[in-house]
């Protein structure tokens, strides 16, 4: 059996990536995501990074049997001046289709992002994990990520 190929995403992958991102967000909503999803949220999400692809944002897919089956979106941002003004890598989204979970594809996508971050000489790499996503938290801990900050939120109603 051929191993899935991890590669930079191309324009033709975007419909899959948008649909997979929507699945990921629905999972987060079920865990308690405090933000409502709009019907066009996946289009707005794509637009949030498309113009910076290859410069400040990077998108990889894992292709299996000619189809994208997983993706990772990474970005580079700058910390505030009072925190050194250093470049920080952010893995903002990682999704693997059910049939490839546990295959190592997620780890390979993270490895591609980490290689890029090393080339860019970022100070550190951060990942936000939705509260209640213990499987996700365990995944990141196994890759050597350690808890740094805890975010709390109170939603105000009208």
Three-class SS state of 67: strand
pLDDT score at 53: 93
Half-sphere exposure of 65 (CA within 13 A, CB side): 3
Half-sphere exposure of 47 (CA within 13 A, CB side): 5
| Boundaries of every domain in the chain | 5-142
pLDDT score at 1: 56
This prediction has a pTM of 0.92
Give the Cα separation of 14 and 76 in Å (integer): 20
Homologous superfamily of 5-142: Gcn5-related N-acetyltransferase (GNAT) (3.40.630.30)
**Average pLDDT by consecutive 10-residue portion of the chain (158 residues)?**
90 95 92 87 92 95 94 97 96 95 95 98 96 94 94 82
User: Which residues neighbour 59 within 8 Å (Cβ) at sequence distance 6 or greater?
Assistant: 8, 9, 13, 17, 49, 53, 71, 72, 73, 74
């Amino acid at each position: 059996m051929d191993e899935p190929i991890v590669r930079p995403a191309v324009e033709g992958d975007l419909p899959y990536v948008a649909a997979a991102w929507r699945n990921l967000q629905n999972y987060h909503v079920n865990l308690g995501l405090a933000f409502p999803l709009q019907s066009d949220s996946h289009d707005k999400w794509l637009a949030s990074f498309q113009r910076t692809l290859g410069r400040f944002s990077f998108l990889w897919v894992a292709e299996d049997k000619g189809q994208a089956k997983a993706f990772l979106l990474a970005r580079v941002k700058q910390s505030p001046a009072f925190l050194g003004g250093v470049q920080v890598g952010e893995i903002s989204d990682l999704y693997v289709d059910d049939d490839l979970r546990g295959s190592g594809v997620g780890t390979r996508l993270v490895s591609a992002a980490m290689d890029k971050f090393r080339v860019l000489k970022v100070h550190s790499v951060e990942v936000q994990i939705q509260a209640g996503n213990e499987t996700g938290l365990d995944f990141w801990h196994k890759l050597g990520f350690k808890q740094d900050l805890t975010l709390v939120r109170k939603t105000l109603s009208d």
